[in-house]
Structures are given as structure tokens and as C-alpha cells.
């Protein structure tokens, strides 16, 4: 193929050199030069355009005429999807438009912008001309469709209906008969099925007020028209602009398309034409539309998954626009619901099918008739050969002819019955095949929609998570292969060696740091048999002041709360199950209560134990890790005289249960907690749902209570601080005594900060003892009369100070208030029930206790290296040099088993724990 000749043809067609174009075409016709008359330009000036496009655009009539005579394709498309008719109409070349139409240019072709030729022109006369031609072409196609339906030409009818711009399937002739009417009265069942599948309406009437059913010939045709009309009704595509509401972006304009029971929306109409850049879609199975009487433009769609989508038609639309949309959505919903809920075979379809017994009987009957016919014909031939055709033989001869004719008629009738049954059977099978094909199309659309939504969810998940690892977080590796272990370790060793060269750390220092890590693990047993627990963790506590929750939340504006992952630095290196063990820090109060004889004194100790259970939460603003469902934790403290086991028994809602008992079988302590969270903007409130029960076995008593509400302030901006407030009612179910404690909120001036007050009452609500103190420090018991007198005097002093303090009060109630005094004023005659143990001097650098070592969850000594030694070496390297390990190799660690990543945080590996766990809001 000559590239030079094609370039010359493009050049001369662009410049209107008719003589040069004619000479080139003649040489091409004589095969002296081989070139494509529909070639496309490759230079910047004619990229993707054919010679006919260029000649039409620049208005060279003679060149266009020569090209068309030489066989140029009149409907050829350029790279933008335009035909030569588009270019001629756009530039207003009326003569060229008429010339192209004379050569059967298609006026219905849509370009890349979703426009036909009449939509791109600015000339009103050309637009009217194209509309007239379009109507003429459409009418010709309709006449061809009617003729194909009358004559039963199924292939031609199918080709017409499958065109990009098919004729109207409900068009009519001079008598008002639609193609379905024509197929019905000519008994062309296959044509009728194709028409029904393409959306032909069986309820339309002709000018004689007759439906296709009234003209139907034969039982099969009537069955096709009567039964399951909705099955064969393929709905038309419906589209247009609509405003759609979203939670975060408000109302936005989309181009919405209804097709095959699926509602899709695009940013632009060309995207919908090419089915690209779809912004969203929803399957309309069991969808329900609702409207708002006060707004004529608004309507809602409730889908099968209970999601509600809000749409609004543009205000400049016609009043009927919303009703048209509602009608189309209801039709598509019924269409989709029918196929998605349809059973495989219905009873009616089974009744329509011809049974094998009927077919066998019909064939046997036809076979008997055929055998009789053969016998009679044989006898007839024998009579002719043996007889001399005498005059007296003529009556018997004629009688024999009549017998043969009768046998022939019976045989024909029997064969006709067989043919009728086989035809009916074929019609039923074709009918079911059409049903299954249509159902398959609908279900394929539904599957494609679900696959698209699944892909979009995966993409949003990938975009919303930091790309810390080159491996997929969804993959679960039970064990690494030898090659994978060696590859990961080689990368770790290379990074480690590089870091060691830079830091020049001596071996003695490394050994010392390794020994420190071992000392912080599980301790050795002492001579008295009581296990020694560690008092610090391998890595010191980092300051959360270096991190701001607001700096994270402001980047997540517009996102769903469930998709926001909080950094692991805001967690404590222990799970909620381990956090529950802190209830038992002051177990000596239970032992003391069990040893007392007076029930009031026992109630005092139990009340002190209930207050001490929340004392460890002061300044504990970190969140424990969420346990896995079924995760357990067991703790045995020989020095405190108890053993405890806790388990996560529910995931939604998250419920943790625990059970503790004394080693001397003197008490049982059990309960369940559901921390119900409430977000108040600048604070988070945790209400611990669940009942706590303490049983003193020696006295056969059971005490029950619920914990107070915990609130963490300034979670967005400011210093975090915590308070407990609410009423706690402790009940002795044996004696009926009650202790009602009031954990007071801090108030405006902070005078009530951390205060706890209450009374012990008998069954008649008589006050027996008064309790007071602070849940962060201590708890005292005093006579109720003395306490009431003190409260009365204290109230007067408070009134005197109120006016002087009011002017200096902080306007920000969420700022941590400073109390009047750091200690509790002891009322004369008070008895100390409980005082919190002082925290170590280095408590700011020490995290809460973690009793198991990280290495306990990895291969034991003596295990083969092939069974996880690579993972063990990774952990050893993490423990000794956590700062040099790249995130790609941290991803090689197994997904989080219970308790692993809290311990990674405990040794300072919060980067590792961040990869495998996230704390959602």
C-alpha cells in the first residue's frame, strides 16, 4: 500500500484539487497505485480524518462527488466519531448534505459527544432537512419490519430489530396493524416471539379495535400472546439529567440511565453513551418509589438493601418529567424483580409441555396407519397383476381403491397430529429458551452491577489506607516458604547492616539492650514459690502530646466514620480483657470484707472495692485494643490471692465477660461489660452497661452494682483529662442493705472534681454510715449526722466564695478545672476505708503492666527453623533494632493473633502494630 499516494489524496482533498484527486482515483482504479480511499491522516492537520471528511468540511463538492463515485464509504467515522455528514452539517454545507443523503448517508449515527448530525448543525434549514430524511428513513425501516412480520422472515426481522437505531417495534400500517398484528394473523410464532422480546405491546389495537390476540391464528399463537406477557417485554432505555443527593457532597447533577433494570448515573452524557466513568449504579430489584407532596421535583428510590437514594428533576423540566421517571423506574423494577425472583420451572409451563406418553401414542397410531396403508397398497397391486380387468371385476376394484384412499387419509391425519404435537413441543421449548435467555441477561446485569460496586469498595478501601506494605493486607500467610523467609531476612539484614554502619553501635551496647529486653519479660520464680512480675516494659512511654487527633480528623472530612482508622499511638499496649484485670488491684478489700462479722462493715469494704476498681483510670486516656470474638485472657496472682479469666463473648455489640475467684475459695467475682460510647463533639462518654457481682461465700452474700460513666474531655484540641460521674447502687441481696454512691461531675469551678459521696442504708432506708472521698485518692466512712452537719457548713462557705469566683471562671467548660485542694478534708471521727497506692516515680514513662512476653506466641526453643524460624529471627531483630525495619518487612508478620500487637506496642513497635490493626472511630 502506497503511503505517499494516500498522503497526496488527503492533501488534494483538503485543498479542493479536483483534477489531481480524479487522476489519483483513476490510477487506483487501474491498480497502478494501491491505496485506501478511506485512509486516515496521520499528521497534525488531518489526524484521524479521511479524504471524504476533509472534502466535506472544507466544502469541495466536486471532490466529494468523485470520492463517492469511486466507492468511498459514506458513513465512515473519524477518530472523534463524526461521519462526513456531521462535518458537512456542522459547517453548513447544504449542497454537500444533500449529496451525502443521496448516497444513503445515515442520519442517526451518534458521534463521540452523543450527537447526531442534526444536533451539531446551526443551520435551521439543514436541521429541517435532516429531520425529514430521518423520518423518511425511519418509515422505510418500519415498512421493511411490517413486511418481514407478514412474510415470516425471522432473520430479516431480527436484523432490523438489532440495528443500532431500530425501527419502532409498535409502528403500524394503513389499517393500524402493528408488526405483532401481522405476525399474529399470519401465525408466524417465531416472529411474534422476537417482537415481544423487543418490546412489542400486545395490547395495542388497530383501526378495527382489534388486538393481536383477536387476530391470532392457532392455539400456539394465542398462548404466546396471552401467557407471561411481562416475560417478553424488554423495556426501552430511559435516560436524562437528574440531581442526586449524597451525604457529604449535597446535590449534584448527573446523567442518569435506566436500562435492563439497572439505574446508573454518569457525570456527562457522552460517558453514558460509551458506558465509561460510571459514578454509581443500583439494581432495581424490589425497588419502591416515593414522592413528596410538597415538592413536585423530588422523589426517592428505596432499593432491596434498604438504601434510599434521593433524586430531583431539573426545575426547567416539564411537569410530566417526574411522572415519566417514576413510571419508567416502576416498569424496570417490575421487570427486574420478575426475573430475579422467578422459579426455574412454573406449573403453567409444565402444563404447556407435551408429555412423552402423548408423543409415543401419536407415533404408534401413525405407525399402525402406515402399516395398514402398506398392506392395502400391496393387495391392490396384487389384484391388478392377477386380474384381467373384466367388467364384473370393476366394482370390487373401485371398492379397493376407496379402501386405499381411506387408509391414506387416516395416515395423513395421524402424521398431521404428530406434526402438530412436535410443533407445539418446539414452541414450548423455544418459549422457555427465550425466558432463560432474558433471565440470564438480567442476572448478568445484576452480577455486573455487584462486581462494579465490589470493585469500587475495594478501591475506596485501598485509597483510604496508607500504602505501608507491598503485600496485600487481605492475604493470610500461615507460614512463609523457605524462599520467602530467606528473601525477607536478606532485606532485613541489609537494612540492619546499613543502619549499624551509620550508628557505629558497639556489640556490647547491643548485648546490653538485648539483656534489658529479657529482664522486662516474664520473671523467674522466687524461693517462696510466688512468681515475680516485671515492673517496666522494654520501651518507654512516648508522649501523645506530639500527636493530634484533630490533625487526623481534618483530613477525613467527608469520609464515613467507619472508614477512618485512628493511629495506634492512641492505644494502650493491652487489650480490653487485660484492662479488666485492673479491677483486682485492691483485692485485699475483698479479703477484709470476708473476714468481718458486721454486715455494715462488709458493705463499707465492698463499696471501697467498687470505688478502687475505677481508680486506675485516672490519667489513662489511651484506648485498649478491641479483643477478637472468642479471645480469652487468664491471670493468676498468687501474691494477691486470686485467679481471673476474661473472654470476648460478643462482637456486635462488643461485650466482655470475666470471672475471678479467690485462691482460698472465699469469694467469686464475675460480670459482663458493654462499653457504650457516645461522641459529644469535644468529648467521648463511655457508659459501661452490665452488672458486676461479688459473692462472699463464707457469708453466703451476693453484692451487685454497675460502674459509673467515664468521660474523656478535649479529644480534639487541648489536654486530655478524664472524669467519672453518675450514681452507683450496691445492693446486698441477703440483708437488703444498700450503698448509694454519687460520683460527682466536676462542675463549673471544679470544686466537685473526682468527689464521691454516699450513704449506707438498711431495708427501711435508714442511714447507717456516710461515705466520702475521691475516687482518685481515698474513701472514708463517718457517722451520717456528723457528715450532714459538715455538708451544711460547707454549703454556706461555698455561697460566700461563689461571687468572687464567678468573674474568673473559665468560659471553656471542657478545660480541666483545678480543684480547691488536692487532698480530701478529713471529717473528725472518720475511718479510712481505702487509699490508693502511690504510683512509681517513673510512671510517666511506664505503660500499664503486660504479663506475657511477645516471644511466647512464636516458635518455642528447639523448634525447627523451617517451622517459623524466619519469623522468630524477624521478631528478634525487631526487639533489638525496631527503628531499622522497613514497613515492607513488617507486613511479613502473621495477621494479629490475640494479644500480639498490643505487645508490639509494649516494646515500642507501634509501626508494626499500625500495619496489622487499626482503631476505628
Strands (E), 778-920: 778-782, 831-835, 919-920
The count of other CB atoms within 10 Å of the CB of residue 471 is 12
What are residue 709's DSSP bridge partners? 725
> What separation, in Å, do the N-terminal and C-terminal C-alpha atoms of the chain show?
67
- B/e letters for 187-220, b = 16+ CB within 10 Å, e = fewer, are ebbbbbbbbbbbbbebebebeeebbbbebbeeeb
Same domain (yes/no): 352, 311: no
| Best mean pLDDT range from 19-23, 430-434, 697-701, 906-910 | 697-701
User: Cα(759)–Cα(746) distance, rounded to whole angstroms?
Assistant: 20
| pLDDT band at residue 63 under the 50/70/90 scheme | confident
What are residue 571's DSSP bridge partners? 623
Q: From 295, 320, 341, give the residue that closes a domain.
A: 341
| Best mean pLDDT range from 134-143, 341-350, 849-858, 862-871 | 134-143
Q: pLDDT by residue (tens digit) across 242-292?
A: 999 987 788 899 999 988 788 899 988 888 888 788 888 888 887 888 888
| Residue 384 per-residue DSSP state | H
Within-domain flag for 810: no
Same domain (yes/no): 324, 385: no
| Cα-only R_g, the chain | 45
pLDDT greater at residue 856 or residue 525? 525
The yes-or-no verdict on residue 480 having pLDDT over 50 is no
Of 146-160, 208-222, 433-447, minimum mean pLDDT range: 433-447
Same domain (yes/no): 549, 574: no
Same domain (yes/no): 637, 767: yes
Q: What does the block give as the cell for 709?
A: 460513666
580, 636, 755 from 614: Cα distances, Å = 10, 21, 13
| Residue 783 per-residue DSSP state | -
Same domain (yes/no): 862, 902: yes
The pLDDT, as a whole number, for residue 360 is 67
Decide if 725 contacts 709 (C-beta within 8 A): yes
Decide if 88 contacts 103 (C-beta within 8 A): no
The count of other CB atoms within 10 Å of the CB of residue 571 is 23
The pLDDT, as a whole number, for residue 595 is 94
* For range 815-821, the mean pLDDT: 49
Q: What does the block give as the cell for 792?
A: 451544711
Within-domain flag for 514: no
DSSP string, 17-70: -HHHHHHHHHHHHTTSS---TT--B-SSSSBT--HHHHHHHHT-HHHHHHHHHT
The pLDDT, as a whole number, for residue 296 is 83
**For residues 540, 541, 543 and 544, what is the CA-based torsion angle, rounded to 10 degrees?**
150
Within-domain flag for 710: yes
Q: pLDDT by residue (tens digit) across 623-646?
A: 788 899 999 999 999 989 999 999
Same domain (yes/no): 405, 319: no
Q: How many domains are contained in the chain?
A: 6
Q: How far is CA 589 from the centre of its chain?
A: 52
The pLDDT, as a whole number, for residue 633 is 93
User: Cα(77)–Cα(38) distance, rounded to whole angstroms?
Assistant: 10
Q: pLDDT by residue (tens digit) across 381-414?
A: 676 666 655 555 566 666 777 777 777 777 777 7
User: Cα(525)–Cα(543) distance, rounded to whole angstroms?
Assistant: 34
Decide if 607 contacts 614 (C-beta within 8 A): no
Q: From 232, 255, 270, give the residue that closes a domain.
A: 232
The pLDDT, as a whole number, for residue 697 is 94
The yes-or-no verdict on residue 882 having pLDDT over 50 is no
| Residue 218 per-residue DSSP state | S
Within-domain flag for 682: yes
Same domain (yes/no): 328, 354: no
Q: What are phi and psi of 756, to 5 degrees?
A: -130, 130
Strands 308-312 and 295-302: antiparallel
Same domain (yes/no): 582, 714: yes
Strands 692-696 and 571-575: unpaired
User: Cα(443)–Cα(464) distance, rounded to whole angstroms?
Assistant: 31
Task: Examine residue 570 and say whether the peptide bond preceding it is cis (omega within 30 degrees of 0).
Answer: no
What are residue 741's DSSP bridge partners? 728, 758
User: Cα(548)–Cα(723) distance, rounded to whole angstroms?
Assistant: 21
The pLDDT, as a whole number, for residue 375 is 75
Q: pLDDT by residue (tens digit) across 118-153?
A: 888 888 888 888 888 888 888 888 888 888 888 888
482, 715, 853, 901 from 870: Cα distances, Å = 8, 41, 19, 18
Whichever domain contains 314, its CATH number is 2.30.29.30
DSSP string, 686-755: EEEES-EEEEETTTTEEEEE-PPEEEEE-SSSS--EEEEEEEEEEEETTT--EEEEEE----SSSTTTTE
Average pLDDT, the chain: 74
Percent of the chain with pLDDT over 70: 68
Within-domain flag for 779: yes
Within-domain flag for 631: yes
Same domain (yes/no): 578, 667: yes
Strands (E), 555-639: 565-566, 571-575, 623-625, 632-637
Within-domain flag for 857: yes
Same domain (yes/no): 253, 228: no
User: Cα(632)–Cα(634) distance, rounded to whole angstroms?
Assistant: 7
231, 416, 433 from 436: Cα distances, Å = 10, 30, 5
Whichever domain contains 111, its CATH number is 1.25.40.20
The pLDDT, as a whole number, for residue 176 is 87
The pLDDT, as a whole number, for residue 646 is 95
Within-domain flag for 803: no
| pLDDT band at residue 340 under the 50/70/90 scheme | low
586, 718, 840 from 522: Cα distances, Å = 22, 38, 20
Q: pLDDT by residue (tens digit) across 37-61?
A: 888 888 877 788 888 888 888 888 8
Q: pLDDT by residue (tens digit) across 539-575?
A: 666 566 556 666 666 666 666 555 566 667 677 778 8
The pLDDT, as a whole number, for residue 256 is 92
Same domain (yes/no): 202, 74: no
Q: From 307, 341, 375, give the residue that closes a domain.
A: 341
Residue reference for cell 511479613: 892
Range of the domain at 176: 136-232
User: Cα(366)–Cα(362) distance, rounded to whole angstroms?
Assistant: 6
Whichever domain contains 631, its CATH number is 2.40.160.120
Full-model pTM: 0.41
Q: What are phi and psi of 636, to 5 degrees?
A: -120, 120
Same domain (yes/no): 175, 263: no
Amino acid at each position: 500500500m502506497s503511503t505517499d499516494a494516500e498522503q497526496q489524496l488527503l492533501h488534494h482533498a483538503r485543498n479542493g484539487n479536483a483534477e489531481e484527486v480524479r487522476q489519483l482515483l483513476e490510477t487506483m482504479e487501474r491498480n497502478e497505485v494501491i491505496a485506501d480511499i478511506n485512509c486516515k491522516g496521520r499528521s497534525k492537520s488531518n489526524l484521524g480524518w479521511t479524504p471524504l471528511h476533509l472534502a466535506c468540511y472544507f466544502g469541495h463538492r466536486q471532490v466529494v462527488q468523485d470520492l463517492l463515485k469511486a466507492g468511498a464509504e459514506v458513513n465512515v467515522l473519524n477518530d472523534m466519531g463524526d461521519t462526513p455528514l456531521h462535518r458537512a452539517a456542522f459547517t453548513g454545507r447544504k449542497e454537500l448534505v444533500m449529496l451525502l443523503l443521496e448516497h444513503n448517508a445515515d442520519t442517526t449515527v451518534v458521534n463521540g459527544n452523543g450527537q447526531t448530525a442534526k444536533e451539531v448543525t446551526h443551520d435551521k434549514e439543514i436541521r429541517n432537512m435532516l429531520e425529514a430524511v430521518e423520518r423518511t428513513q425511519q418509515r422505510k425501516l418500519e415498512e421493511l419490519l411490517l413486511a418481514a412480520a407478514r412474510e415470516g422472515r425471522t432473520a430479516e426481522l431480527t436484523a432490523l430489530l438489532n440495528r443500532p437505531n431500530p425501527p419502532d417495534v409498535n409502528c403500524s400500517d394503513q389499517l393500524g396493524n402493528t408488526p405483532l398484528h401481522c405476525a399474529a394473523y399470519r401465525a408466524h410464532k417465531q416472529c411474534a416471539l422476537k417482537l415481544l422480546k423487543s418490546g412489542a405491546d400486545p395490547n395495542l389495537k388497530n383501526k378495527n379495535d382489534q388486538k393481536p390476540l383477536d387476530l391470532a391464528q392457532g392455539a400456539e399463537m394465542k398462548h404466546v400472546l396471552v401467557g407471561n406477557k411481562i416475560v417478553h417485554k424488554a423495556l426501552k432505555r430511559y435516560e436524562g439529567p437528574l440531581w442526586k443527593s449524597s451525604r457529604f457532597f449535597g446535590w449534584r447533577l448527573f446523567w442518569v440511565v435506566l436500562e435492563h433494570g439497572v439505574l446508573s448515573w454518569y457525570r456527562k452524557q457522552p460517558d453514558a453513551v460509551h458506558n465509561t466513568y460510571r459514578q454509581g449504579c443500583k439494581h432495581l430489584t424490589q425497588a419502591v418509589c416515593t414522592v413528596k407532596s410538597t415538592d413536585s421535583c423530588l422523589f426517592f428510590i428505596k432499593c432491596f438493601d434498604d438504601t434510599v437514594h434521593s433524586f430531583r428533576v431539573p426545575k426547567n423540566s416539564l411537569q410530566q418529567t417526574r411522572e415519566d421517571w417514576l413510571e419508567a423506574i416502576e416498569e424496570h423494577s417490575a421487570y427486574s424483580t420478575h426475573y430475579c425472583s422467578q422459579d426455574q420451572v412454573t406449573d403453567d409451563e409444565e402444563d404447556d409441555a407435551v408429555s412423552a406418553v402423548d408423543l409415543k401414542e401419536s407415533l404408534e397410531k401413525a405407525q399402525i396407519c402406515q402399516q395398514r396403508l402398506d398392506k392395502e397398497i400391496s393387495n391392490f397391486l396384487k389384484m391388478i397383476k392377477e386380474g384381467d380387468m373384466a367388467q364384473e371385476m370393476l366394482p370390487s376394484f373401485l371398492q379397493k381403491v376407496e379402501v386405499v384412499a381411506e387408509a391414506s387419509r387416516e395416515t395423513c391425519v395421524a402424521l398431521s397430529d404428530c406434526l402438530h404435537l412436535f410443533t407445539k413441543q418446539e414452541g414450548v421449548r423455544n418459549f422457555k429458551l427465550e425466558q432463560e435467555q432474558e433471565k440470564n441477561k438480567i442476572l448478568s446485569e445484576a452480577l455486573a452491577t455487584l462486581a462494579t460496586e465490589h470493585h469500587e469498595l475495594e478501591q475506596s478501601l485501598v485509597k483510604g489506607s496508607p500504602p505501608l506494605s507491598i503485600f496485600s493486607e487481605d492475604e493470610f500467610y500461615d507460614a512463609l516458604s523457605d524462599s520467602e523467609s530467606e528473601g525477607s531476612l536478606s532485606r532485613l539484614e541489609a537494612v540492619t547492616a546499613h543502619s549499624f554502619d551509620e550508628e557505629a553501635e558497639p556489640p556490647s551496647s547491643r548485648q546490653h539492650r538485648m539483656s534489658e529486653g529479657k529482664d522486662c519479660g516474664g520473671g523467674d520464680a522466687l524461693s517462696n514459690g510466688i512468681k515475680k512480675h516485671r515492673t517496666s516494659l522494654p520501651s518507654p512511654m512516648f508522649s501523645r502530646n506530639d500527636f493530634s487527633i484533630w490533625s487526623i480528623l481534618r483530613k477525613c472530612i467527608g469520609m464515613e466514620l467507619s472508614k477512618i482508622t485512628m493511629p495506634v499511638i492512641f492505644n494502650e499496649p493491652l487489650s480490653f480483657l487485660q484492662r479488666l484485670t485492673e479491677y483486682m488491684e485492691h483485692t485485699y478489700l475483698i479479703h477484709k470484707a470476708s473476714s468481718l462479722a458486721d454486715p455494715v462493715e462488709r458493705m463499707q469494704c465492698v463499696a471501697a472495692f467498687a470505688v478502687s476498681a475505677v481508680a486506675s483510670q485516672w490519667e489513662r486516656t489511651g484506648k485498649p485494643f478491641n479483643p477478637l470474638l472468642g479471645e480469652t485472657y487468664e491471670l493468676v496472682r498468687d501474691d494477691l490471692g486470686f485467679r481471673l479469666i476474661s473472654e470476648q463473648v460478643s462482637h456486635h455489640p462488643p461485650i466482655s465477660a470475666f470471672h475471678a475467684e479467690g485462691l482460698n475459695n472465699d469469694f467469686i467475682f464475675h460480670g459482663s461489660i458493654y462499653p457504650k460510647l457516645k461522641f459529644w463533639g469535644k468529648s467521648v462518654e463511655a457508659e459501661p452497661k452490665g452488672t458486676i457481682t461479688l459473692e462472699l461465700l463464707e457469708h453466703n452474700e451476693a453484692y451487685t452494682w454497675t460502674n459509673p460513666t467515664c468521660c474523656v474531655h478535649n479529644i480534639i484540641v487541648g489536654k486530655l483529662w478524664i472524669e467519672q460521674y453518675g450514681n452507683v447502687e450496691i445492693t446486698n441481696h441477703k440483708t437488703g442493705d444498700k450503698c448509694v454512691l454519687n460520683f460527682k461531675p466536676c462542675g463549673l469551678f471544679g470544686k466537685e472534681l473526682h468527689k464521691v459521696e454516699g450513704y449506707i442504708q438498711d431495708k427501711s432506708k435508714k442511714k447507717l454510715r456516710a461515705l466520702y472521698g475521691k475516687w482518685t485518692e481515698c474513701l472514708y466512712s463517718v457517722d451520717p449526722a456528723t457528715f450532714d452537719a459538715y455538708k451544711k457548713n460547707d454549703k454556706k462557705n461555698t455561697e460566700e466564695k461563689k461571687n468572687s469566683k464567678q468573674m474568673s471562671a473559665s468560659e471553656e467548660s471542657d478545660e480541666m478545672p483545678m480543684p480547691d485542694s488536692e487532698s480530701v478534708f478529713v471529717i473528725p471521727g472518720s475511718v479510712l476505708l481505702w487509699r490508693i497506692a502511690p504510683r512509681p516515680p517513673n510512671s510517666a514513662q511506664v505503660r500499664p503492666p503486660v504479663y506475657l512476653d511477645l516471644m511466647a506466641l512464636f516458635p518455642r526453643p528447639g523448634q525447627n527453623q523451617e517451622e517459623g524460624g524466619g519469623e522468630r529471627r524477624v521478631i528478634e531483630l525487631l526487639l533489638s533494632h525496631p527503628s531499622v525495619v522497613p514497613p515492607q518487612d513488617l507486613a511479613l508478620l502473621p495477621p494479629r493473633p490475640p494479644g500480639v500487637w498490643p505487645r508490639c506496642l509494649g516494646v515500642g513497635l507501634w509501626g508494626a502494630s499500625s500495619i496489622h490493626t487499626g482503631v476505628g472511630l
